[in-house]
Amino acid sequence: MIQRMIGAAAFAAAAAVVSVAAQAQTVKVAYIDPLSGPFANVGEQGLAEFRFAVERINKSGRLGKVKLEVIGFDNKVSPQEALNQLKRVIDQDIRYITQGNSSAVAGALLEAVNRHNERNPGKEILYLNYAAVDPAYTNDKCSFWHFRFDANADMKMESLTTWMTGQKNIKKVYLLNQDYSFGHAVKKAAREMVNRKRPDIQIVGDDLHPLGKVTDFAPYVAKIKASGADSVITGNWGNDMSLLVKAGRDAGLDVTWLTYYAGGLGTPTAMGDAAAGKVKIIAEYHSNVENNKAAKWDADYRKQAPKGNPDFYFLRGKIMWDMFATAIVQAKSVETKAVALALEGMRHEGELGEVEMRKSDHQLIQPLYMLTLVKSAARGGPKHAKIDMEGSGLAPITEARLEAYTSAQPTSCQMKRP
Amino acid sequence: MEFFLVQSLNGISYGLLLFMLSSGLTLVFSLMGVLNFAHASFYMLGAYLAFQVSTRVGFWPALVLAPVLVGAIGMLVERWGLRQVHRHGHVAELLFTFGLAYLIEEAVHLIWGRSAVDYRVPAELDGPLFQIIGSQYPIYRGFMMLVSVAMLVSIWLALTRTRIGLVIQAALSHPQTVEALGHNVPRVFMLVFGGGAALAGLAGVIGGNAFVTEPGMAAAVGPIIFVIVVVGGMGSLAGAFIASLLIGCMQTFAVSLDWSLAGISIAQVAPVLPYLLMVLLLIFRPKGLMGTREG
Amino acid sequence: MKYAPLNLGRWILWSATALLFLAAPQVFKGGFALTMLTQMGTLILFALSYNMLLGQGGMLSFGHAVYSGLGAYVTVHVLNLMGKGAFYVPVPLLPLVGGLAGLFFGVLFGYVTTKRAGTTFALISLGVGEMVFACVLMFPGFFGGEAGISTNRVVGKPFLGVSFGPAIQVYYLVAVWCFLGMAAMFALTQTPLGRMANAVRDNPERAEFVGYNTQHVRFLQLVLSSFFAGVSGALSCLNFEIVSAENVSAIRSGGVLLATFIGGVPFFFGPILGAIVFVFFIVALSGFTKAWLLYLGLFFVLMVVYAPGGMASLILMQFPVMRAGRWRELLVPYALAALAALVALAGLIGLVEMVYRLSEQGASTVLTLLGISFDARSAPPWLAFAAVLGAGLAALRSAARRVGERWGAIQLELQAKAQ
């Protein structure tokens, strides 16, 4: 950290000297995610990938004399700590922030950014959200200064349930979620969308459990078993996900797990072979995807990846930086308002298909994939399951591709434009 | 019927695991009056050390080695830390263990990283033990129950049938007399603290692979074991046993029952129930279920 | 007619404190420094309220954040209602709302928790704290769930021209309330209730014999303490403009315990010191190094073992010696010990930073401290820092022994003189 600060200071000094000589510019982007504490590995993953992306963009010279720089700030997964860091960011006159973990922090940052922009016209901050999926941020809490590059919880459910329409062997579904805003959103969306698209599917159970507090999921598993469900839809992440799947295997529960975050850091390792063939995930990318135009990028990242973050996850992160760079070029400026105006409504040729940043709510619409975790090819799994996740022996394979328009949702956003 | 049987077994096995965890705490508290805040941290250390050992030599040596290592660490902590703080009173001892819990967690972060580690159930214990109508009951849960009961029996035997056990029991109420009789009471204290830590470590060895071994596991179980100690009654091992089973079954069955009150189902509040029980008990029966020692 | 001598020392001390509050933002400029000062002010109030329980009442509580957090939640709802135009409370009076909410919950929970004393009380407070924290996530209607509840403190008509938008205005609001709270809590220690709380802490059986119901005394002490905790919660709500589950979390409760203990439990001003140091560790140090939690934990444990009276006790210990004019003799031993400690600290910092850097995936292993770069992978830096640490510890040991000898000699002579 000390080294990073000295490095940043040296960079700033060098940039200052160069700018006097040749009017070069550094656009700093503050990355406000957990860099210490239990979720540090998640924050480090994003930072590692973003640093790689920024390095590549700078090397390509796309932005001419403008250089990008991403600086990490530790939010400790605490809304109040994130606001402290935002104050430091403002002090250092940085105008761009990016963040993704968690949705709670995102909400706090969004409000704080709105307030700051209101009280400080001309010094507005732009917020690039790469992972906080609470639907409200592109609906009733939408803001001109916020752009979301990850499909929100409702969008993911929309795609997941669309995939389900073709699965005739799913007849009885159990809903199990964490008892907080995200879990409630998943539960509500699941009910509504399953009823809409497959009214023949019976929802045989619906449970909420306290977030991160349950060690023993055996009681829940027994309930699922007693209900006769053949599939479980869950938004669980982290330990809640791994413990659930492990408990399921222990009790011999034979269900398909339809999840959002079973591919999350540490979860494949913790689930182990209990997950093989049974766990499905809705995501925008995986390393074994077909027609993978990001394959080389993925491989290049892996070559220089730090030991604890060996995988490439966030294609949406790469798309975010690419679109950001394009916006700067189009706006011919690094002022936040100009960049924002260029960014909204932008269409971009992503590595897996065209994506669009919707003007109405600043939500990125992109193709999604339903993927299954199986044993990697090296361990006897299917041949196309080549690259495994974090060395766990589990590899993702595509179950289905869901086009961008499948996930698009109507929005209640009434955006106030400056 | 199947459901009820399965849930009962689940509740009992979970309760026995909780007992393994809280027995060490009760023991140390009965003898030394020290409420060890770092007890859950020793549990975590036991799991991590077992992971480390099992990746080298396998699970069964780890079952023996890891608790011994944790016990040794506990003895060191007592000798070089707790003993110095002892003269400043019980609050200082509690705070010392409180600070220790922070430090152990940071040490775990440094050595093993911040994500979960892949500590697996050994192959020979992996699989169904028996079928209850349609459901399976895993071998490992049965193993957990077995170890827990064996532990209870051996503690009881050690305390009541061996010489050192009698000395420990005597030192519980009359440490000065015991010292006057020539026994090395400080060494006894060190052994007991190390023993308590070893018990927590054993619980970690058993529980770490059944559940996830990650740095947050200490904070996840910490509050529950304190509730058990309070509900069971401070200083009573039998009380801790009953309280563990009670809370284990309560939490398990709360999840299974589909009752709701004012829109909140019992399943949602299941993990909060132990705390509710504790508060209610303290209003109506402050001594705990079988308390012998006042706080 | 009553005549009491003018306690000049007290007047000077309190005026100096007030001046310090006024002048601090002029000395430490910048948005970040200001937010740190504001947080210090809030935590001072919180820690002082906590010490009403621990230091004055002998009640160790692991769930004190419940009162400040619930006070904060009520305040944020009132603020949001004000924003919608339901009614108007001048913003500077909002901390009173928080305080009253804290008082209410103090009465509610205090009745149950103060039934027992000592370790049992500590555990009950832990249980109640966990319960409230779990409830916060279960009832998103009132508590806003994981994201908490946001608000805007710039609401309604400006109060005497002050809108409380800029951070400096919030700082002064916090400073005023902190000062008033400090004065009130100090005054409380001089009342019969305050004195009886001390008595109950020291010898409950005897207090009962004097005719006071110990449970009653503890209950009242807790209720008053939760009032001030609620005030500090409301101030925190105004500062951050958000209240979330972490306001009632066990981490927050643990934090105030740490802060109070580091500062010094037996003394009134101890928590003030402790709050300042604690905020510095958490907010400022965490910007410089990732190992801040380790440093904080080590500092805390060292305090428990070697100075259980906290930093305040270390400072106050010097006063009798100073008054006897003998402090100059300690200057050299202290300086030597401080030097040795600095050397040991440098070695420790080097080792810790290297360990952390190595554990950090992906960061380069080259560290730069004080302008010198070295690679944490190679052996020489480890040996060097270990040697420095070892030398520092050895020197510290002998220096501490010398300090102890000199101190002991002075104490003996002072005692002899006193006889």
B229 contacts in C (CB within 8 Å)?
A: 123
% of chain A exceeding 70 in pLDDT: 94
Is C55 inside a domain boundary?
yes
Neighboring chain A residues of B117 at a CB cutoff of 8 Å: 269
Closest chain B CA to residue A269 = B118
C40, C42, C242, C285: best to mutate for the A interface, most A CBs within 10 A = C242
- Secondary structure class of C10 (helix, strand, coil): helix
C384 in any annotated domain: yes
User: Are C268 and C406 part of one and the same domain?
Assistant: no
Q: Which helix (H) or strand (E) holds B196?
A: helix B185-210
Both C167 and C100 in one domain: the answer is yes
- Taking CB atoms and an 8 Å cutoff, what residues of chain B touch A225? 6, 134-135
Q: Which residues of A touch B114 (CB under 8 A)?
A: 37-41
Average pLDDT score over residue span C324-353: 88
* pLDDT class of A22 with cuts at 50, 70, 90: very low
The answer as to whether B6 is a domain residue is: yes
Cα–Cα distance measured from residue A123 to residue A94, given in angstroms and rounded to the nearest whole number:
9
Which residues span the domain enclosing B168? 2-214
State the pLDDT confidence band at A12, using cuts at 50, 70 and 90.
Answer: very low
Residue B186 lies in a domain: yes
Work out how many CB contacts closer than 8 A connect B with C: 114
Number of domains forming the structure of chain C: 2
> Is residue C3 in a domain?
no
End-to-end Cα separation, chain A, in angstroms = 37
Q: What is the pLDDT confidence band of residue B262, given thresholds at 50, 70 and 90?
A: low
Chain B residues close to C361, C-beta within 8 Å: 113
| Interface predicted TM-score (ipTM) | 0.84
Domain assignment present for residue C2? The answer is no
Inter-chain residue contact A78 with C246, CB threshold 8 Å: yes
Average pLDDT, chain A: 86
Give pLDDT tens digits for C58-71: 999 999 999 999 99
Residues in chain B closer than 8 A to C261 (CB atoms): 95
Question: How far apart are the C-alpha atoms of A272 and A268, rounded to whole Å?
Answer: 6
Chain A residues within 8 A of B141 when measuring between CB atoms: 218, 250
* pLDDT at residue A10, rounded to an integer: 46
**Per-residue pLDDT at A20:** 37
Determine the residue among C301, C352, C353 to mutate to test chain B binding: the one whose Cβ has the most chain B Cβ atoms within 10 Å. C301
- With a cut of 80, say whether residue A211 has pLDDT above it: no
On the CB side of C389, CA atoms within 13 Å amount to 13
Q: At C23, which CATH number? A: 1.10.3470
Integer Cα distance of B29 and B23 in angstroms: 10
* Domain presence at residue C364: yes
pLDDT value of position C342: 92
Of A106-110, A164-168, B32-36, B288-292, the poorest mean pLDDT is in B288-292
Is residue B212 scored above 80 in pLDDT? no
- Which of these three, C258, C288, C315, is where a domain ends? C315
pLDDT tens profile A88-141 = 898 888 999 999 987 888 988 998 999 899 888 889 999 999 999 889 899 989
Claim to verify: residue C28 and residue C117 sit in the same structural domain: yes
Residues in chain B closer than 8 A to A243 (CB atoms): 211-212
Contact between A71 and A30 (Cβ < 8 Å) = yes
Q: What is the DSSP letter of C373?
A: E
Per-residue pLDDT at B172 exceeds 80? no
User: pLDDT tens digits for A403-417?
Assistant: 988 888 899 999 888
Chain C segment 161-180 residues within 8 A of A by beta carbon are 165
| One domain, residues C386 and C404 | yes
Of the candidates C255, C196, C322, C346, the residue with the CA atom closest to the CA atom of residue C46: C255
Tell me how far apart the alpha carbons of residues A325 and A306 are, in angstroms, rounded to a whole number: 25
DSSP string, C213-266: -HHHHHHHHHHHHHHHHHHHHHHHHHHHSEE-GGGGSHHHHHHHHHHHHHH-SS
User: Is the per-residue pLDDT at C268 higher than 90?
Assistant: yes
Which whole number is the average pLDDT over C377-382?
82
Chain B CB contacts of C308 under 8 Å are: 85, 88, 92
Q: Please give the Cα distance from A110 to A356 (Å, whole number).
A: 22
Same domain as C119, residue C207: yes
Please, what is the Cα angle at C163 between C162 and C165, to 5 degrees?
125
H, E, C per residue of chain A = CHHHHHHHHHHHHHHHHHHHHHCCEEEEEEEEECCCCCCHHHHHHHHHHHHHHHHHHHHHCCCCCEEEEEEEEECCCCHHHHHHHHHHHHHCCCCEEEECCCHHHHHHHHHHHHHHHHHCCCCCCEEEECCCCCHHHHCCCCCCCEEECCCCHHHHHHHHHHHHHCCCCCCEEEEEEECCHHHHHHHHHHHHHHHHHCCCCEEEEEEEECCCCCCCCHHHHHHHHHHCCCEEEECCCCHHHHHHHHHHHHCCCCCEEEECCCCCCCHHHHHHHHHCCCEEEEECCCCCCCCCCCHHHHHHHHHHCCCCCCCCCCHHHHHHHHHHHHHHHHHCCCCHHHHHHHHCCCEEEECCEEEEECCCCCEEECCEEEEEEEECHHHCCCCCCCCCCCCCCEEEEEEEEECHHHHCCCCCCCCCCC
Does residue C237 surpass a pLDDT of 90? Answer: yes
Burial B67-78 (b: 16+ CB within 10 A, else e): bebbbebbbebb
Residue B65 falls within a domain, yes or no?
A: yes
Lowest mean pLDDT among A350-359, B134-143, C273-282: B134-143
C329 and C261 in a single domain? The answer is no
Nearest CB to A251: which of B11, B14, B135? Answer: B135
Residue B294 has pLDDT above 60, yes or no: no
Q: In the predicted model, what is the mean pLDDT of residues C218-244? A: 94
- List the Cα angle C32/C37/C43 in 5-degree steps: 125
Evaluate whether residue B98 is within a structural domain. Answer: yes
Mean of the pLDDT values across residues A386-400? 89
Domain extent, residue C73, equals: 8-315
Of the candidates C165, C242, C289, the beta carbon closest to that of A1 is on C289
Residue B292: per-residue pLDDT: 59
The alpha carbon of residue C189 is apart from the nearest alpha carbon of chain A, in Å, by 33
Residue C231 lies in a domain: yes
For residue A299, the distance in angstroms to the closest alpha carbon of chain B comes to: 23
| B237 pLDDT above the threshold of 90 | no
Question: Testing the interface with B: which of A215, A265, A392 to mutate, by most B Cβ within 10 A?
Answer: A215
Contact B103 C131 (CB under 8 A): no
Residue C69 lies in a domain: yes
pLDDT above 60 for A165? yes
Domain boundary among C250, C281, C315: C315
Q: What confidence tier does A44 reach under pLDDT thresholds 50, 70, 90?
A: confident
Q: Is residue C240 packed enough to be buried (19+ CB in 10 Å), middle (13-18) or exposed (0-12)?
A: buried
Size of interface A-C (CB pairs under 8 A): 113
Taking a C-beta distance cutoff of 8 angstroms, is the pair A273, A393 a contact?
yes
Number of domains forming the structure of chain B: 1
Q: How many CA atoms lie within 13 A of B232 on its CB side?
A: 30
Q: According to the model, what pLDDT value does residue B295 have?
A: 40
Residue C1 placed within a domain: no
Per cent of chain B over pLDDT 90 is 21
Which residues of B fall within a CB distance of 8 Å from C124?
230, 278-279, 282
Instruction: Name the residue among A282, A293, A60, A16 with its Cα closest to residue A150.
Output: A282
Same domain assignment for residues C265 and C390? no
Res A1: pLDDT: 54
Question: Are residues C387 and C286 part of one domain?
Answer: no
Q: Does B252 touch chain A (CB under 8 A)?
A: yes
Nearest to A289 by CA among A128, A405, A398: A398
Q: How confident is the model at residue A2 (pLDDT cuts 50, 70, 90)?
A: low
What does the pLDDT look like over C152-209, one tens digit per residue? Answer: 888 777 777 777 878 888 999 999 999 999 999 999 999 999 999 999 999 999 999 9
pLDDT over 60 (residue A18) = no
**Nearest-angstrom CA–CA distance, A46 and A33:** 8
Do C61 and C121 meet the contact criterion of CB atoms below 8 Å apart?
A: yes
Average of per-residue pLDDT values in chain C: 88
Predicted pLDDT at B118: 74
Same domain, yes or no: C291 and C335: no
Tell me phi and psi for residue A275, to 5 degrees.
-90, -20
Statement to judge: residues C243 and C360 lie in one domain? no
Residues 78-97 of A with CB under 8 A from C: 78-80, 83-84, 87-88, 90-91
The predicted-structure confidence for B173-193, as pLDDT tens digits, reads as follows 787 888 899 888 888 888 889
Of C35 and C267, the structure prediction assigns the larger pLDDT to: C267
- Distance of residue A407 Cα from the nearest chain C Cα, in angstroms: 25
Structure tokens at B110: 């440094």
Question: Under DSSP, is residue B122 helix (H, G, I), strand (E, B) or coil?
Answer: coil
- Residue C362 and residue A308: Cβ atoms within 8 Å? yes
CB-based contact B138 A219, cutoff 8 Å: no
Model confidence at C376, in pLDDT bands (50, 70, 90)? confident
| Residue at B163 is within a domain | yes
Residue ranges of A 272-331 with Cβ closer than 8 A to chain C? 305-309
**Cβ–Cβ gap A212/B220 under 8 Å:** yes
Q: Regarding predicted confidence, which is higher, B94 or A2?
A: B94
pLDDT surpasses 60 at B210: yes
Q: Place A37 in a pLDDT band, splitting at 50, 70 and 90.
A: low
Name the residue with higher pLDDT: A331 or C378. Answer: A331
The sign of the CA dihedral C55, C56, C59, C65 is negative
Higher pLDDT pick, C60 / C291: C60
Q: Which chains does C contact via 3+ CB–CB distances below 8 A?
A: A, B
- Nearest CA to B120 out of B216, B205, B40, B42 is that of B205
**Which residue did the predictor score with more confidence, A56 or A252?**
A56
What is the reported pTM? 0.83
Residues C276 and C401 in one domain: no
pLDDT of residue A16: 42
**pLDDT of B75 over the 90 cut:** yes
The span from the CA of C191 to the CA of C203, in Å, is: 18
CA distance A223 to C219: 44
Domain contains B253: no
Which of B53-62, B134-143, C105-114 is predicted least confidently?
A: B134-143
B90-108 per-position pLDDT tens digit: 778 888 998 999 899 889 8
